[in-house]
């Protein structure tokens, strides 16, 4: 079974703090993703990584950065947390590009509910 774990289920931080969210997968997946999920807005992609030390911006990268020093670990960093970053953060992983038509679904971690006060 694929397992994607996230460092915390719940986190409370203060405005201006630096926040680290960590994600680990155990399936040797090439791709890893960070999303945030908000009511009425759905899942939105923040950043993704297709290889160690490689990263690409998603749809809403502003205010976030990422780090992938090892294949199994992908970190999301909020340099200076703000109240509008209060959200559910979901990490996911998948295999890299396969032939057209292959499933290659994303597997999600349990999520971290971050509250910024």
Partner 1 sequence: GQNIDQPTEMTATEGAIVQINCTYQTSGFNGLFWYQQHAGEAPTFLSYNVLDGLEEKGRFSSFLSRSKGYSYLLLKELQMKDSASYLCAVRDPGSGYSTLTFGKGTMLLVSP
Residues making contact with partner 1 (CB under 8 A)? 4, 31, 33, 40-45, 48, 50, 56, 58, 90, 94-97, 100-101, 103-111
Enumerate the β-bridge partners of residue 91.
34
Q: How far is the CB of 37 from partner 1 (least distance, A)?
A: 9
Nearer Cβ to partner 1 (41/52): 41
Q: How far is the CB of 25 from partner 1 (least distance, A)?
A: 12
Nearer Cβ to partner 1 (56/79): 56
Type and span of the H or E element at 116: strand 112-116
């Amino acid at each position: 079974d694929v397992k994607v774990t996230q460092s915390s289920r719940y986190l409370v931080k203060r405005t201006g703090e630096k926040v680290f969210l960590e994600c680990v997968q155990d399936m040797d997946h090439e791709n890893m993703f960070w999303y945030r999920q908000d009511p009425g807005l759905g899942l939105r992609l923040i950043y993704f990584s297709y290889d160690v030390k490689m990263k690409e911006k998603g749809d809403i990268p502003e205010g976030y950065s990422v780090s992938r020093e090892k294949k199994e670990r992908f970190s999301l960093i909020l340099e200076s947390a703000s109240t509008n970053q209060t959200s559910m953060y979901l990490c996911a992983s998948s295999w890299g590009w396969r032939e057209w038509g292959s499933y290659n679904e994303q597997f999600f971690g349990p999520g971290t509910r971050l509250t910024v006060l």
